[in-house]
């Protein structure tokens, strides 16, 4: 499954809203309210005034694909090589899952970045996405 197919599915198929049944409201007692205030106070102090504009968070998630037994035909083409010179295509199995990573800040959200299997999220990757938000 290609990156374009996954992007299309994320954008169009998952956009549909599902009906939520039996939505129960969370009722907090006074003790729970006090605990939440104590836990959120350090975050508020960190982000008060205009400092929240400098706050950046990232998140990554694995998306597991349903059709894991499918195969694709692939031809590898180097620079300066013609398609006519290529060997016949080989079939490779689709990945079982895809890791998606995004950066979120006050300036916006980056586009989903699809990481190759085994890729690491490092400072260079983070810097590229932060510059895209600026």
Cα–Cα distance measured from residue 134 to residue 116, given in angstroms and rounded to the nearest whole number = 25
Radius of gyration of the chain (CA): 22
Tell me what the mean pLDDT of segment 99-120 comes to: 79
Tell me the sheet residues that pair with 58. Answer: 103
> What's the predicted TM-score (pTM) here?
0.40
pLDDT score of 130 = 64
Tell me the sheet residues that pair with 108. Answer: 105
The least confident of 22-26, 40-44, 116-120 is: 22-26
The proportion of the chain whose per-residue pLDDT surpasses 90, expressed as a percent, equals: 0
pLDDT per residue as tens digits for the range 10-30 = 777 665 555 555 556 667 788
pLDDT score of 18 = 52
104: closest CA among 92, 115, 113?
A: 113
pLDDT value at 38 more than 80: yes
pLDDT per residue as tens digits for the range 81-98 = 777 777 667 777 766 778
Domain boundaries, the chain: 53-133
């Amino acid at each position: 499954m290609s990156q374009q197919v996954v992007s299309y599915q994320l954008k169009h198929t998952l956009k549909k809203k599902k009906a939520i049944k039996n939505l129960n409201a969370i009722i907090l007692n006074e003790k729970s309210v006090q605990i939440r205030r104590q836990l959120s106070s350090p975050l508020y102090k960190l982000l008060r005034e205009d400092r929240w504009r400098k706050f950046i968070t990232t998140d990554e998630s694995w998306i597991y694909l349903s059709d894991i037994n499918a195969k694709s035909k692939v031809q590898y083409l180097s620079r300066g090589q013609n398609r006519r010179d290529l060997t016949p295509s080989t079939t490779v199995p689709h990945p079982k899952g895809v890791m998606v990573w995004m950066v979120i800040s006050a300036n916006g959200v980056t586009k989903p970045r699809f990481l190759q299997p085994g890729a690491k999220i490092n400072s260079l990757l983070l810097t590229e996405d932060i510059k895209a938000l600026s």
